[in-house]
Structures are given as structure tokens and as C-alpha cells.
Amino acid sequence: MSAKGEDSDTEKLIKDTAKKVFFKEGRFNATTQEIADAAGVNRTLINYYFRSRDNLFNLVFEDAQKKEDERIHALVFSDMPLKRKIEMFLDEFFTQAKEYPYLEIYMVTQMNQGSCYEDAEAMSRLLDKMYLEIAIEMDKGNVARMRPEQFMLNMISLTSFPVSMRPLLEQSMGFSTEQFDKLLEERKEIILNMLFIN
């Protein structure tokens, strides 16, 4: 069969499985054999569909990055007040974190290895829009005065850190999975209260 442009079943199966192995299970160093086993296919099919292991890795990575970028973009350029945007961001973020606990940390380790950000222009526009809205809220007295960059850093830190460091935190702070889920649930409110004054 193989309609042009459309992934064959096995091709998609392999990609999905790789995503699962990386982002759901956190096994970033999984070998092609392990991925093939997890997908229940012959290992060489990975070469057949993706040429090389590196290729598969990059593809999965870029896919995930692109999707996240799109979601963020839609939110930032939507027609909502800043606080509401951040509220929705928190929701999305924690939801996705539950599905793919290792996605964030993977992006960072990738970045550390030299993988570089794709569309710096788009990111720059997005940040500028946020900085502007943040500045306006500061003028209104809804947000403590600081460089907007610091506000962004605060927001992303308070949100992302507990998610990416979850395994470490669960272990060192002695939480069960359920307890930590509850903790994250509570955090939405707490984070909003820390970011906004009223």
C-alpha cells in the first residue's frame, strides 16, 4: 500500500513505541533492539524506515518539541487575560507531565548534548508578547515589579521543576506516586498565588 506521505503501520508503531520508551519510561539510552522488542518488530525495520538510530531519535524529539511549541503558541496568542493564560498553561503542563513524565528532562539533556533550538525567531516573538503583557500587569499592580524575564523564569521554574525532577523528588522527599499527584494538583493554586499579588 503506502500512500505517499502517510506513515505505514509499522513505521508509526515504531515511532510511537520509541516515544513511549523515552518519554513514558525515561530510558533515554535504550538500544534499537530494546525499542524493537518493545514494539514487537524486527530490529532491522528501524533501519528500513529510519535509516539510523540517530534519525529515529531526532525525529521523535523534534516531533514532540513541535507539538509543545504549537500548544504554547496557541495559548500565548489567544485572547485571554494573562492570569487565565497561565492558569491554562499550568493545567496543560501538569496533564502532559502525567502522560509523559520524562519529556521535559529529555529535552534538556538533548539540548545539553548540542541539539539546538529550531525557530529562534518565533520564540523571540512569543517571549516579547509575554514580556509586554507581564509589564502591563505590573503597571496595574497585579504583579510584583521585576524584570519580566524573571517573572517568566519564576513561572516556568515553579511549574516545570517538580515535574522534571519528579523521580528525584519522590525518592528524596519520600512521596508515593499518589501523594505526589495530589501535591501537583495543589500546586496550581499555590503557583498562581506566588506569581500574582491579589
Partner DNA sequence: TTTTGTTTTGACAAAAATGTCAAACTAAAA
Partner DNA sequence: TTTTAGTTTGACATTTTTGTCAAAACAAAA
- The C-alpha atoms of residue 127 and residue 73 are separated, in whole angstroms, by 10
Kind plus residue range of the DSSP H or E element containing 10? helix 9-19
Count, residues in the chain: 198
End-to-end CA distance of the chain: 60
122 binds a copy of itself (CB under 8 A): no
Rounded distance between C-alpha atoms, residue 83 and residue 80, angstroms: 8
Cα–Cα dist 31/28, whole Å: 9
147 binds, among DNA, a copy of itself, none (CB under 5 to 8 A by kind): a copy of itself
136 is a site residue for a copy of itself (CB under 8 A): no
The one among 51, 84, 98, 129 contacting DNA by CB under 7 A: 51
Which of DNA, a copy of itself, none has residue 52 at its interface (CB below 5 to 8 Å by kind)?
DNA
Q: Dihedral through CA 135, CA 95, CA 126, CA 103, nearest 10?
A: 130
Among 42, 78, 150, 157, binds DNA (CB under 7 A): 42
Provide the mask over 71-110, with x wherever binding to a copy of itself is found by CB under 8 A and - wherever it is not: -------------------------------x--x-xxx-
**Counting Cβ atoms within 10 Å, is residue 117 exposed (0-12), middle (13-18) or buried (19+)?**
exposed
- Closest distance between a copy of itself and the C-beta of residue 26, in Å? 5
Cell digits of residue 159: 511549574
- The residues of the shown chain that bind DNA, judged by CB under 7 A, are 1-2, 8-10, 31-33, 41-48, 51-54
- Which residues form the interface with a copy of itself (CB under 8 A)? 26, 28-29, 102, 105, 107-109, 111-113, 116-117, 120, 123-124, 127, 144, 146-147, 149-150, 152-154, 156-158, 160-162, 164-165, 167-169, 171-174, 183, 186-187, 190, 193-194
